[in-house]
Amino acid sequence: MNPVKYGKCPGKPINLNSIPASRVYLNNLVTSKGFHILYHRIGSLYSEKFPVDHYEIMSSKNAYDDLYINIYSETNAWIPPEGYLFDSCHEISLDYLYENKLQDIDEAEIAIEEKYFHKKAVCNNIEDHIKRVNSLPPLELFLAKSDGRNGRVSNFPYLLIDELLRNSFMFSDKLQKRVLRSIKPRNISYP
């Protein structure tokens, strides 16, 4: 029997206290290997206690997953689900939380334990760096951070990736087409 995994089912959701907190949480999430994610909210499920938001996730390595978030918690649980960590550059998000005064958040509420952060690999020389970059999936080369929408995106992830690529001035049309061709569909449809 599989134990219920935190964040991976509606019965054991990630507990956060607002929509902006869920955006900050997801925008800082990476896979345990450090790959950025794209996400969209498919909709909400209703449990006996509170609605739970259902997010479809796709990593830049083309792996799909589902996460469930309760945005009606009194506090934020800054704990990533199994298979995920937080990106190591989180200061921007913490500043965002303070600037927007989300639910009178104090420093203790947004403290994130160091063990939950992905440690970036440091290359000792240019050859190692080039090998590492060349081994990355095309989408990871494009993504500087995890990104997504708090609403449903039709034809996910293609329309979201296309929108992000069109807003990027650093990538040629040829590279944009290569990125889009590298994405495999999930083959699951949601109502």
Task: Give the residue with greater pLDDT, 46 vs 172.
Answer: 46
- How far is the C-alpha of 48 from the C-alpha of 50, rounded, in Å? 6
Locate 13 and state its tokens.
């959701």
Helix axes 91-99, 19-27, angle to 10 degrees: 170
Q: How many CB atoms lie within 10 A of CB 93?
A: 20
Give residue-wise pLDDT tens across range 125-184.
778 777 777 788 888 878 878 999 999 999 999 999 888 887 766 667 787 788 888 888
88 contacts 117 by C-beta, under 8 angstroms? yes
Token readout for 57 is: 């996730």
Query: Whole-number mean pLDDT of the chain?
Result: 81
Q: Residue 54's closest CA among 138, 152, 172, 124? A: 152
pLDDT-derived band at 113, boundaries 50, 70, 90: confident
Question: How many whole angstroms separate alpha carbon 86 and alpha carbon 82?
Answer: 12
- Does the pLDDT value for residue 116 go beyond 70? yes
Q: How confident is the model at residue 62 (pLDDT cuts 50, 70, 90)?
A: very high
- pLDDT for 15 beyond 70: yes
**Alpha carbon 157 to chain centroid, angstroms:** 13
Q: Determine if residue 157 is left, alpha or beta; phi over 0 gives left, psi from -120 to 50 gives alpha, anything else beta.
A: alpha
pLDDT band at 99 (very low <50, low <70, confident <90, very high): low
Nearest 5°: phi and psi at 54? Answer: -105, 120
- Cα–Cα distance measured from residue 5 to residue 13, given in angstroms and rounded to the nearest whole number: 9
The model carries a pTM of: 0.83
Greater pLDDT, 129 or 35: 35
